[in-house]
Amino acid sequence: MKPSVVLASTATPDGRKMVLSGHDGDFFLTVDGRQLMTSREHESELELARLGCDKIRHKPRPAVLIGGLGMGYTLRRTLDLLPAEARVVVAELMPQVVQWNRQFLGELANHPLRDDRVTVESCDVAAVIRRSEAAFDAILLDVDNGPGAMTYAGNDGLYGPTGISAAMRALRKGGCLAIWSVDTDARFERRIRCEGLHVRCFRVRAYQRAKARSRCIWTIARQARALPPDEAAAG
């Protein structure tokens, strides 16, 4: 059996060790030894893009903000769904992750960072959201584990009342916020509803052949018609 090879490492903003490893064509990201993501399991990242962009695929010039580059799968699916005139902004807090995508991971998702529609900002996605007013048709957040932040403690602010309110302001009329999460969170969902917003939760598979739907995608909007229909759930 081939051993795992450490390809690169860095420190997260709050001092944890993030490591990119490779093993027999697969790649793994860990934080302090705990697996954050793997190239083997990316079906839910594709579903984040599909559900979040469900109602904007046929708009003439859609604009999408993606929070978290990961291994590029959400970005790739977004680009595949949208027209040539689309604009996609990727906010990635850690420039090393962008570098790793270009150096090691590009082939996994057919080099999405080479697409002319893509702009990468090496910053906290929350900063992009706060400074934006009716700028995006969809916001896709794949940051840590969802409302239970793991890599960067400041990510928790994305999912609190202030963060959700800022995201709604950053969306254009009919826009949709989609959030990837490792699991459901009934309190989070109740709070969203109490804020007068429409929310729909989809359980999706972590990888294509998984028997159970083990990941959660929330879609949130001011108007119910901006959400993907219930039947949009992955089969």
- Whether 232 shows a pLDDT value over 70: the answer reads no
pTM here is 0.93
- Whether 191 shows a pLDDT value over 50: the answer reads yes
pLDDT band at 156, cuts 50/70/90?
A: low
Angle, helices 73-81 vs 43-52, to 10°: value is 40
Structure confidence by residue, pLDDT tens digits, 207-227: 777 667 789 999 999 999 999
Residues 53-79: what's their mean pLDDT? 97
pLDDT band at 233, cuts 50/70/90?
A: low
Structure confidence by residue, pLDDT tens digits, 79-91: 999 999 999 999 9
Q: Where are the domains of the chain?
A: 41-232
Buried/exposed code over 176-197 (b: 16+ C-beta within 10 A; e: otherwise): bbbbbbbeebeebbebbeeeeb
Residues 169-192: what's their mean pLDDT? 93
Query: Any idea which fold 41-232 has?
Result: Rossmann fold (3.40.50)
What pLDDT does residue 154 have? Answer: 58
Full 3-state SS string of the chain: CCCCEEEEEEECCCCCEEEEEEECCEEEEEECCEEEEECCCCHHHHHHHHHHCCCCCCCCCCEEEEECCCCCHHHHHHHHHCCCCCEEEEECCCHHHHHHHHHHHHHHHCCHHHCCCEEEECCCHHHHHHHCCCCEEEEEECCCCCCCCCCCHHHHHHCCHHHHHHHHHHEEEEEEEEEEECCCCHHHHHHHHHCCCEEEEEEECCCCCCCCCCEEEEEEECCHHHCCCHHHCCC
Q: Are residues 234 and 43 in contact, defined by beta-carbon separation less than 8 angstroms?
A: yes
Q: What is the mean pLDDT of the chain?
A: 91
Nearest of 89, 88, 71, 70 to residue 79 by alpha carbon: 88
What percent of the chain clears pLDDT 70, i.e. is strictly above it? 92
Choice between 167 and 148, residue whose per-residue pLDDT is larger? 167
Structure confidence by residue, pLDDT tens digits, 5-53: 999 999 998 899 999 999 989 999 999 999 889 999 999 999 999 999 9
- Whether 107 shows a pLDDT value over 60: the answer reads yes
